[in-house]
């Protein structure tokens, strides 16, 4: 069975491109375009993804708030999360690590590097 990835980002083109790339690498990929949509997907009764790629700056609910929600729920607290964001200041990265992110990757990024990071994070879980 293919490992499942949820991409949460308000940049629809990025979600589309990453989804296509990751699907060619054998992953099953879903997208959410804001934090509320992501929390609704993760809080439902359905199957959880194996990993979340999460942006910080989104409308309605930030990635920081989504990450807090993920880490505070018994259902999702162990879910691997990779921050994939333009928030590239050291204070942003420190905040991500403090909130329990598994990896912090800034934009722009290389898809092949992202694939390596995803595989490593999944392998350690």
Average pLDDT over residues 21-35: 97
- Which of 3, 56, 48, 11 shows the shortest CA–CA distance to 27? 3
* Band of pLDDT at residue 21, cut at 50, 70 and 90: very high
Residues with Cβ < 8 Å from 10, sequence gap 6 or more? 33, 34, 55, 57, 58, 59
Q: pLDDT > 70: what percent of the chain?
A: 100
For residue 68, pLDDT beyond 90: yes
For residue 44, pLDDT beyond 90: no
For residue 45, pLDDT beyond 90: no
Query: What pLDDT, on a 0 to 100 scale, did the predictor assign at position 1?
Result: 78
* Band of pLDDT at residue 3, cut at 50, 70 and 90: very high
Average pLDDT over residues 6-31: 97
- Domains belonging to the chain, first-starting first, are 4-85+104-110 (3.40.50.2300)
């Amino acid at each position: 069975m293919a490992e499942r990835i949820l991409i949460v980002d308000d940049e629809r083109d990025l979600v589309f491109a990453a989804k296509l790339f990751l699907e060619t690498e054998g992953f099953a990929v879903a997208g959410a375009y804001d934090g509320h949509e992501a929390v609704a997907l993760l809080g439902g009764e359905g199957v959880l993804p194996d990993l979340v790629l999460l942006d910080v700056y989104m409308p309605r609910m930030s990635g920081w708030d989504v990450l807090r929600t993920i880490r505070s729920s018994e259902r999702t607290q162990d879910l691997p999360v990779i921050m994939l964001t333009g928030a590239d200041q050291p204070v942003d990265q420190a905040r991500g690590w403090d909130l329990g992110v598994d990896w912090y990757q800034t934009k722009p990024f290389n898809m092949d590097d992202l694939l390596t990071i995803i595989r490593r994070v999944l392998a350690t879980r």
